Structure 1
Amino acid sequence: MKTIILSFLQDHKRKKVNISQLEEYMIRHHKEAYMDYDAFAETINELTEEEILIGVGGKKTTDFNGLYPPLYNQYWNRAQKEEAKPFMNPGDVTVHDSIDLSYYRGREEELHKDWPFIEKISLFLSDEYPAEDYEWLQVNERSAMLFGDEKWLKKHSAFLNRIGLEKEDLRMIHTPEPFSYKLGIPKAVPSPLKGIIIENSDTYASIKRLWDEGALPFQLIIYGGGKRIESTINYLQHIEELSYYDLDLYYFGDIDREGVAIWERTARGHKGTLKPYLPFYNTLVDRFSDQATEPETDDRPSLAPFLVYFTKERATVIRNVLDEGNLLPQEYVHYGIMKRLVKRDG
């Protein structure tokens, strides 16, 4: 069915297609392929997810066909063959006053491609949607509400800038990355408290095992989540229990350009000192430097702030690993090794 509908859409002469006419065409000319309305609606929704069809209108009842599952009465057709595309001129279309189409001057083909999304946003800014849709929403919620695709705005992050809008214009709330941590302050409080950030999930899972076994010399463990920690590190200042104590914070991640770059940017964003946790890093260098692999990264971090924590010999090894573009994954220092190292450190 999908192939037949695509062929119909490619040969369709108009920018919009009426869904009832398309269904009638399928029933009349391709009854066996049509099967039933549910299969037809599923195919239309697939084409919508692929951005070949874009529903026309907002969320008014009259915009839909009254059946279940509901389909828009009309769709923008983006499957037309190139020669059939009627390109637009920014001066020939009407949009909400907040939208700036100056970017599209001389880019008529790009305007034609973006127009279904611009139109939906224009309708939203013109108060054409139900009142409940004007609550402040998370980015993915607004994207799903407007376009039927919760990730569309994130996948097309430059789109709003092209039409001169900010997230606030669409009443969107920035969603901070989740901050995962465990905090345990004993009765005999050490001074200062010790905490550690772990870059990757498997190593963090092993650290949690050691935490549950009471084997860690840390009162705070934090899951870094790769680059995510760069934007979440300042959440520490919102943890009330920590506000009463000094904190020595350490970091353990991969030894590669990206891993060092994450440490560097996180250290800059942290109000205190963020030190590499040497028992883990030293073991990674001493035992596994000959097992370096090739990562995929374009980062070019400044090495000096990181290497200053290591002996001259280890710093040379680390520099060589990074200069060659290689990777020492933190997972080499597995649960069993960490258990021995933290016991010695504690």
Structure 2
Amino acid sequence: MRDLVIQVLLKFSKKTIGIEELETFLPLTDMSYEQFAKLVLSLEEEGILEMVKSHGRNMRTPSLAYSYRIQTKLLKQDLHQEIFKLRLQLHPSIELDQYFKIDPSNWKDDLPYIYKIHDYIEKNGLPEYEVPAPERSVELVGDEKWIDEKQGKELLERIGLLSAMKVIPVSDPIMFAVNPATITNQNHLHLIVENKTTFQALMHTLPETSFTTLIYGSGNRIIKSIEQFERQLPIANAQHTFFYFGDIDRSGIFIWYRLNEKKKVHPYIPFYRGCLEKAPLEGKSNQRFDQEALLRFLPFFTKEESDKLQSMLAEGKYFPQEVLKTKELQEIWRQNHGVE
């Protein structure tokens, strides 16, 4: 029960807690008032709970304060000692430093899985070859969904083992066309387009450019499927540069932003400039707005272009990729091979 109280106090957002508030978080049906009071008084003696004197104490026996200040540093001191102690017992490849910095509740939630990972490494050593995430999940914790769907990937990142566990992410394959003339190059350019119409319009022009691939992003799917790229196009010692062209609306910009967090991706400015020369359409005022995504996107444009983009989006207007007709797309790509 003491551990439960500690967890409640660590998660409590305020600096003080009323005794009645504390009671509501605990399963007191199996606990008498005397037992509860004894537990609270022990935390008083340890200095973890400090009485708010101006609020007084109740008249029950044993008597408890109506309100307590929570001494968070002392609470975390116990946790840190536990982490230090366990670090000496676990396999040295398991890193625990992140748990000194993040919400203490993560420690209790993660600990059963950390023990399982320790047992796996002690028995098998670190993996020597890659396997899909569900297979590795079963090996580690007995749950095929753990890595991809139950925060297992985040835990492995916290303990510094995501790369060492050699996990192949499970995601849809990337759909792309290849320019065979560039395969032997060392430096490779890749253009990702959001929509199928644009992909089909540009596919036949690919051999006339210096790009190695034309990739169909399929909206948000590219954010996950980009993880498969090097596996699907395994060119040794290659340097890859990625460009992106999507709808000029809040959703399209947000897809680029999320994708750019995974793998550095430049907006393909010639296509975007071609759109900005057209008249925008109306009808996207209800889309999700992400200010950070827009702030990262705008610096690729001139001041005049940036002002036009912001004004247009604020009015609920947008440019679908389809405002550029097939012949326009093809001609722009022929004339601009990627790097301005």
> TM-score w.r.t. structure 2 length?
0.47
> TM-score w.r.t. structure 1 length?
0.46
